[in-house]
Amino acid sequence: MEKLLAHLSHLEIASPDVEASAKFYVEKFGMREVHRADGKVYLRCWGDYDTYSLVVVPGAEPALARMAWRTTSPEALEVATERIEASGIQGTWSEGGYGYGRAYEFTGPYGHPMRLVWEIEKYAAPAEFASIYPDRPEKRSLHAAAPRFLDHVTVATQDVRGFAKWYSETLGFRVMAFTELDEVPITVFSVLTTNEKSHDLGVVLDTSDRAGRVNHIAFWVDTHEDLLRTADVLMEHGTPMEYGPSIHGIGEQNFLYFREPSALRVELNSGGYRNYVPDWEPKDWKPSDGSNNFYRNSAMPHSMTESFPFADGFTATEEGASEEMKAAILNPYAQHGRG
């Protein structure tokens, strides 16, 4: 199949309190607000090539409102659309929105709202943010915890292998790895990619019956030191680490996870390998192999299995989306009685 998708362009995430979420991303995480309209706030990292990579939109619950992928060409957008419709899914064409042109929007077979787009407005920094380096979209942020650019999105589905099959066969994602539980042959995780990154789309098993959920969104910093400094800055300013900093076995990225005010999980990565192998055969990992924790010396907190929106009756903390649970999720140490 000709290469159809180039990279993850932007994510739209719903928040019950758009202002609180946007304030967090700007003041604590070092992103920059570039636009707002219709209650939506558009945010960019200093190194995003597109105008923005994150849109916070109003919603009753934390959720993935849409993930937007840029195609490799205008022709690829048409081919991708034909392939989606041939698989039995019908989407709609949109004339575009802020920062992008004509786009095909559809809901994937496991309930995830998608947008495919070729026409992207090239970002041109205003004079005060212009870099002295020709290839930088804008100058490096002065913020101590600022991510460079959007990295990936990890969604949840009731059928991890089915999800990987559809996205690879229909849109040409390479499937890079699976994780099966040690105890029983249940596939709980997979990573897929459109390019040389080990993944730009992840998928975790969803044990709820609520389709289209998201587990986390992820950004990138250049070095492990940048990542550790971000953990330090967030800790000092009231945002606990849910998991990490550590290294994933799969992909070998440095990682940390924390929650934004809506309780949505945000990951930060650096490092990892590149993989250009066109006929890569995905291996099955087990948690005991270090799939999640390269050093095999700590278990993933159970709270990490929580996806969004909350699925009543299936939450990691089994308390629903109460204020108490949100507080517990935002402070995992208190949740585990270690505070």
Shortest approach of Fe ion to residue 329 CB, angstroms? 17
Question: Is the Cβ of residue 21 or residue 154 nearer to Fe ion in the bound state?
Answer: 154
Question: Is the Cβ of residue 12 or residue 267 nearer to Fe ion in the bound state?
Answer: 267
Q: Could you say whether residue 267 binds Fe ion (CB under 5 A)?
A: yes
**Contact between residue 53 and residue 43 where contact means Cβ atoms under 8 Å apart:** yes
Shortest approach of Fe ion to residue 282 CB, angstroms? 16
Shortest approach of Fe ion to residue 132 CB, angstroms? 33
**Which run of H or E residues covers position 257?**
strand 253-259
Q: Could you say whether residue 48 binds Fe ion (CB under 5 A)?
A: no
- Could you give the CA distance from residue 232 to residue 320 in angstroms, rounded to a whole number? 30
Nearest to 141 by CA among 206, 229, 73, 59: 229
Site for Fe ion in 117-176 (CB under 5 A): 154
Site for Fe ion in 183-222 (CB under 5 A): 218
Helix, strand, coil shares of the chain, percent, nearest 5, are 20, 35, 45
- Could you give the CA distance from residue 258 to residue 261 in angstroms, rounded to a whole number? 10
Question: Is the Cβ of residue 14 or residue 218 nearer to Fe ion in the bound state?
Answer: 218
- Could you give the CA distance from residue 68 to residue 70 in angstroms, rounded to a whole number? 7
Question: Is the Cβ of residue 226 or residue 267 nearer to Fe ion in the bound state?
Answer: 267
Q: Could you say whether residue 246 binds Fe ion (CB under 5 A)?
A: no
Nearest to 62 by CA among 263, 283, 330: 263
Shortest approach of Fe ion to residue 317 CB, angstroms? 21
Question: Is the Cβ of residue 103 or residue 191 nearer to Fe ion in the bound state?
Answer: 191
Shortest approach of Fe ion to residue 253 CB, angstroms? 8
Shortest approach of Fe ion to residue 24 CB, angstroms? 19
Question: Is the Cβ of residue 99 or residue 251 nearer to Fe ion in the bound state?
Answer: 251
* Distant-in-sequence, close-in-space partners of 154: CB < 8 Å, separation ≥ 6: 201, 202, 203, 204, 214, 215, 216, 217, 218, 267
- Could you give the CA distance from residue 291 to residue 331 in angstroms, rounded to a whole number? 25
Q: Which residues bind Fe ion (CB under 5 A)?
A: 154, 218, 267
